[in-house]
Amino acid sequence: MLLIHCPYCDDTLPELEFAYAGEAHIARPADPSKLSDEEWRDFLFIRTNVKGVHAERWRHIHGCGRFFNALRDTVSDRFLTTYKAGEARPDVQTLEAAE
Amino acid sequence: MTHFSGFSLLKNALSGHKNWPEQWPDKQPKGEYDVIIVGAGGHGLGAAYYLAKEHGITNVAVIEKGWLGGGNTGRNTTIIRSNYLYDESAKLYDHALDLWENLSTELNYNVMYSKRGVMMLAHNVHDVQSFQRHIHANRLNGVDNQWLTPKQAKEFCPPLNISPDARYPVMGAALQKRAGTARHDAVAWGYARAAAKRGVDIIQNCPVIAIRRGADGSVEGVDTAKGFIKAKKVAVSAAGHTSVVMDSAGVRMPLESYPLQALVSEPIKPVFPCVVMSNTVHAYISQSDKGELVIGSGTDQYTSYSQRGGLPLIEHTVAAICEVFPIFNRMRMLRKWGGIVDVTPDRSAILGKTPVKGLYVNCGWGTGGFKATPGAAHTLAWTVAKDEPHPINAPFTLERFTTGRLIDEAAAAAVAH
Ligand SMILES: Cc1cc2nc3c(=O)[nH]c(=O)nc-3n(C[C@H](O)[C@H](O)[C@H](O)COP(=O)(O)OP(=O)(O)OC[C@H]3O[C@@H](n4cnc5c(N)ncnc54)[C@H](O)[C@@H]3O)c2cc1C
Ligand SMILES: [Zn+2]
């Protein structure tokens, strides 16, 4: 089972307390009526689905109820870090250097 | 390659089964092929077979990063059915079912297709309404599917608990009698053998690293662990790894890859006559001819390439199985495993041409593409050979995510398997 750190509760807890909520940092278009069909496709359906470090949203549903972001390696399923919603995506190199 | 028959079986029995020749040669790549297929799962191997057999294209290589059939083809719970809601899906899966019927004879290889019936349980009012809608839609499409009362469901599958105070009460079931199971490995092996016999090269332990495109954008070949191999046509059939392979050709896909897990019990005498699916509690069960209970679960919630999946899901599935079939309470489970399934936003496959000239894709089968193997392979071969859609795969384009013409089996709730 994954152990996930909620940056709001500042506690590392079992996966069962959390709900996965898809790829992170996909911003809703500022002016939706200006988008072409291709841009809508990219926003709605295209995902990086990366084999490697993935930025993703999680929600602490059985705890504080808040959404936060995580960097996780999709090959090993290891979490590199979690961070609060609204914060920029941390740089992987700096993270690894800090370890 | 020997033709399998009662006679060849008898002959080899007399020499203690020590003189069977190899079923297909393990090939090294040539410099160039007419068609390269990436991924030696049932879909890729099948497409190679139909290219050779139906379109006379035999200069074909199927390139596999591991061993053939080692992907989802060899990891799935082998449920075969065609009672999907939408016309497009019904046609595609029913086409596959028609091919399943004669596949063993066609390939001269016993794929053990067994029409034991697949029963889908309704546990709540929503299930009842949605299944009955499926049954009506299916009957209009000439697809077999019928409604069973709880009592009839129990007659069809005696281990089922239909007591009204059960945790997951059975309010009825949809039964497709023509549906069933097949031996997954045999499907890969049968297609591999029949394709190799017609001249197809099957190249294992050879990851495709990138798809190479020329100055005009069209496909030139693939870079692999065994060097560059030329081909003007490349078909990607790489299941969970499709995004990664397509990315190398500069095509971004509407796919996400999730772990999907299954497990088997210790073998026991035959007790379970059919396949039972419960989409609501995500538990799928049948009994293999070896006697093991074969149990499938839902996908893990997070995307992953780890080919593993988490234990909470197994626990949930096994708990559900024990509720619905209390006689299995004390069964011991032997092993569990995971595969990586490629899921599209509308839960329907993508099968056809791409914006890149000479590049074709067959993916997005998610949790339920084993049943489609012959149909997907057959129509993919057509599309690659003629460079145009087959009438049956035509709606399953990549463009539908731009035009919005989705085939929304996700909303239709015909989830999984
Ligand atoms: C646990 C589980 C249970 C399932 N249960 C069912 C079920 O009951 N019924 C049903 O219909 N479906 C089921 N499915 C889904 C089904 O298994 C798949 O949809 C189907 O087998 C896909 O076949 P395929 O040939 O496309 O993929 P695969 O068999 O996965 O073949 C793809 C191949 O591509 C290879 N590959 C990937 N990347 C590369 C590369 N770069 N270079 C070379 N080769 C590469 C892989 O190694 C793999 O062998 C289940 C899946 C799982 C995991
Ligand atoms: Zn929290």
**Dihedral (CA of B323, B326, B329, B335) sign:** negative
pLDDT higher than threshold 90 for residue B1: no
Chain A residue numbers with beta carbons less than 8 Å from the beta carbon of B301 are 19-20
Contact check, Cβ <8 Å, B401/A41: yes
CB pairs < 8 Å spanning A and B: 64
The string over B202-222, giving b where at least 16 C-beta atoms fall within 10 Å of a residue's C-beta and e elsewhere, is bbbebbbeebbbeeeeebbbb
pTM across the whole model: 0.96
Q: Which of B231-235, B285-289, B410-414 has the lowest mean pLDDT?
A: B410-414
Between residues B21 and B180, the one the model is more confident about: B180
Distance CA(B46)–CA(B50), nearest Å, equals 6
B349: which 2 tokens?
A: 């496959």
Q: ipTM value, please give it.
A: 0.96
Of A2, A41, A74, the CB nearest to B305: A74
Of B303, B312, B402, the CB nearest to A49: B303
- Report how far residue B55's alpha carbon sits from residue B295's, in angstroms, rounded to the nearest whole number: 38
Cβ contacts of residue A70 below 8 Å, gap of 6+? A4, A24, A55, A56, A57, A58, A79, A80, A81, A82, A83
> In angstroms, rounded to a whole number, what is the distance separating the alpha carbons of residues B183 and B177?
18
Ordered by where they begin, the domains of chain A are 3-98 (3.30.2270.10)
Residue contact B243–A75, C-beta within 8 A: no
Tell me what the mean pLDDT of segment B313-325 comes to: 95
Per-residue pLDDT reduced to its tens digit, B90-138: 999 999 999 999 999 999 999 999 999 999 999 999 999 999 999 999 9
- Residue whose CA is closest, atom 52 of ligand 1? B76
| % of chain B beyond a pLDDT of 90 | 94
Rounded CA-CA distance B255/B210 in Å is: 18
Contact A76 B345 (CB under 8 A): no
Cα–Cα distance measured from residue B93 to residue B369, given in angstroms and rounded to the nearest whole number: 9
B198's CB contacts (< 8 A; 6+ apart) are: B49, B52, B53, B58
For the sheet with B146-148, list strands across it.
B146-148, B172-176, B118-122, B275-278, B283-287, B293-299, B256-265, B333-343
Question: Please, how many CA atoms are within 13 Å of residue B243, restricted to the half-sphere of its CB?
Answer: 25
Residue pLDDT, tens place only, A19-47: 999 999 999 999 999 999 999 999 999 99
Calculate the alpha carbon distances from B406 to B21, B82, B89, B191, B394 in Å.
Answer: 48, 19, 11, 31, 12
Q: Which of residues 43-82 of A touch B (CB under 8 A)?
A: 44-51, 54, 56, 72, 74-77
